[in-house]
Amino acid sequence: MQLSSRVFEAADLEAAVEFCYEQKWTDGLPVVPPTRGAIERILAYLKRDPDEIVGVVPPRNGVATIEKIAINCVMAGCKPEYVPIVIAAVEAMLEERFNLNGVQTTTHACAPLCVVSGPAVKTLGFNTREGALGHGCRAAATIGRAVRLILWNIGGGYPGEPCKTTLGHPGYFSFCVAEDQDANPWEPLQVERGFQSGDTVVTVTATTAPYSVATGAGYSPAADVLYLLADSIATLGSNNITGGDMVLVLGPMAAKNLADAGLTKLQVQAEIMRLATRPVREAKRRRSISATHPMHWSKVVDANDDEARVPWVRSPANLVIVVSGGWGSGAGFCALCSGWGALGGYTVSKRVEFP
Amino acid sequence: MSIELFDPVGEVEVVQRQAVRALQSLKGKRVGCIFNQHVSALAFWKALESEIEKTLQPASVFRIYKANTWAPAPRAEANRLLEATDYALVGVGA
């Protein structure tokens, strides 16, 4: 198989790993050396032209060909069958509404969170139980890792220059979670996003690190669960004061609590939207966007009424709800991943095309 | 036995641009102002525009004040600015 990428040589495995560091091909974690055999296994699985261009990745504007994506997937440790999900995630991030150039370079701490939903969650062995957002699953860990390496090696997303994220967060290394349809009392995420239930879909949103929310779903009424979730959203330091998307990963206990109370997912979103507000007198203390700016909250609320409520969720669709995780204790843990606000990183979903 | 490694770095897309037209003077020319409306640069930008108008007396001023500070200006607006101006000030406050 003809590969067009430059070839280097290393004396042995240890030297190869060190060479990857020396070449700045990795962001700190060791990588699997991208050898011909491993790359060709992915390309043989994909049955696509290695030179096919998937897109141009900012801010460096590197061209993401199938071959370059395959190389980065090898380095991340992906199995060949994971790679179509990575390709779909790249396509999603390159949609204009995602504003990847901004996501990669902002001083904020938002990284693309990939949510996988659909049949491949089971067939590829994603962990949707204990630790679903964390460690312990090759599929989620390496798909998230491949996305990061693509943003690094093709997009040139190096901290300092040109990426200005003040702190970043651990999800910059790998950030992927799968939906547990067995525990989801509502329609699958991919259906909510306009696809078929039999489709595997990757949904990408730029978010901050997950914030753990103890909802008390095991011993609290749904009204309190909703109140606690909303309270975690409407924090003055969150960029969602400008609007924009966010991802709420509901643990199965919290999801069951809400569904057992007769709430549809849309009703949950609408109720959280109603509750996730702060009074104008408090919102005024957040000064990072001027009152004259088109995104300022005063465009939707009377700034002269100190008791008027400023919404953090501007529409139900801004709140992307995913069900995943272990049953846990009565605390009913959930995870909120706040967004970049109306600045970008908006949720984009793409169907995964398996060969 | 050595190990072959393949370069994961994407080739950079080369964008062909026309040569920039050099202006002998900015005085009396048509100016474009692209401002991202960042809160930290509001006062500076206002003062800069004022100074440009006072000292260079532009024939016209074409403004794009971006509704989204963090996203590129809409392509259509940027193209209109290119047609309507001789030079542009680009303000990226952050």
Q: Give A-chain residues touching B42 at CB under 8 angstroms.
A: 290, 292
Q: So what's the pLDDT on residue B15?
A: 74
Q: A8, A39, A97: which to substitute to probe chain B, counting the most B Cβ within 10 Å? A: A8
Q: So what's the pLDDT on residue A132?
A: 97
CB contact under 8 A, A35 and B7: no
Relative to beta strand A62-65, strand A348-351 is unpaired
Relative to beta strand A348-351, strand A201-207 is antiparallel
Cis before residue A188, ω within 30 degrees of 0? no
User: pLDDT over 70 for what percent of chain A?
Assistant: 100
Nearest-CB residue to A36 (from B6, B7, B12):
B6
Q: How far is A11 from chain B (nearest CA, A)?
A: 4
Nearest-CB residue to B94 (from A15, A25, A107):
A107
Query: Terminal CA-to-CA distance of chain B, rounded, Å?
Result: 52
Of the pLDDT bands very low, low, confident and very high (cuts 50, 70, 90), residue A288 is confident
Q: So what's the pLDDT on residue B1?
A: 75
User: Which residue in the block uniquely carries the two structure tokens 């994506």?
Assistant: A69
Q: So what's the pLDDT on residue B40?
A: 87
Q: What is the pLDDT of residues A88-127, one digit of tens each?
A: 999 999 999 999 999 999 999 999 999 999 999 999 999 9
Nearest-CB residue to A63 (from B4, B11, B67):
B11
Cis before residue A210, ω within 30 degrees of 0? no
Average pLDDT over residues A27-42: 97
CB contact under 8 A, B71 and A63: no
Q: So what's the pLDDT on residue B92?
A: 75
Average pLDDT over residues A229-237: 98
A167 CB-near residues (< 8 Å, 6+ apart): A109
In a domain, A24, yes or no: yes
Q: What is the pLDDT of residues A174-205, one digit of tens each?
A: 999 999 999 999 999 999 999 999 999 999 99
Mean pLDDT of chain A: 97
pLDDT at A353 over 80: yes
Q: So what's the pLDDT on residue B91?
A: 80
Q: Give B-chain residues touching A23 at CB under 8 angstroms.
A: 7
In a domain, A297, yes or no: no
Compute the Cα dihedral for A217, A223, A114, B72 and give only its sign. negative
Joined together, the tokens standing for residue A4 give 């067009």
User: Count of CB contacts below 8 A, A vs B?
Assistant: 116
Q: Classify the complex by whether its ipTM is higher than 0.85, answering yes or no.
A: yes
Number of structural domains chain A divides into: 1
CB contact under 8 A, B3 and A35: yes
| Stretches in chain B below the pLDDT threshold 50 | none
CB contact under 8 A, B13 and A61: yes
CA B91 to chain CA centroid, nearest Å: 7
In a domain, A302, yes or no: no
Q: What is the pLDDT of residues A241-286, one digit of tens each?
A: 999 999 999 999 999 999 999 999 999 999 999 999 999 999 999 9
Q: What is the pLDDT of residues A213-231, one digit of tens each?
A: 999 999 999 999 999 999 9
pTM above 0.90, yes or no: yes
Of the pLDDT bands very low, low, confident and very high (cuts 50, 70, 90), residue A169 is very high
Domain range list for chain B? 30-91
Joined together, the tokens standing for residue A71 give 């190389």
Question: Where in the sequence is the domain holding A67, given as residue range(s)?
Answer: 13-276+312-351
Say if CB B37 and CB B66 are below 8 A apart. Answer: yes
Q: So what's the pLDDT on residue B22?
A: 85
Q: What are phi and psi of B4, to 5 degrees?
A: -85, 135
Q: Which residue of A has its CA nearest to B69?
A: A343
Q: So what's the pLDDT on residue B49?
A: 94
Q: So what's the pLDDT on residue B19?
A: 72
Q: So what's the pLDDT on residue A293?
A: 87
Nearest-CB residue to A293 (from B15, B37, B94):
B37
Average pLDDT over residues A315-328: 97
Of the pLDDT bands very low, low, confident and very high (cuts 50, 70, 90), residue A290 is confident
CB contact under 8 A, B6 and A3: yes
Q: So what's the pLDDT on residue B18?
A: 76
Q: So what's the pLDDT on residue A52?
A: 97
Q: How far apart are CA B94 and CA B69, in angstroms?
A: 9
Say if CB A108 and CB A165 are below 8 A apart. Answer: yes
Find, among A187, A151, A322, the residue nearest to A245 by Cα.
A322
Of the pLDDT bands very low, low, confident and very high (cuts 50, 70, 90), residue A303 is very high
In a domain, A163, yes or no: yes
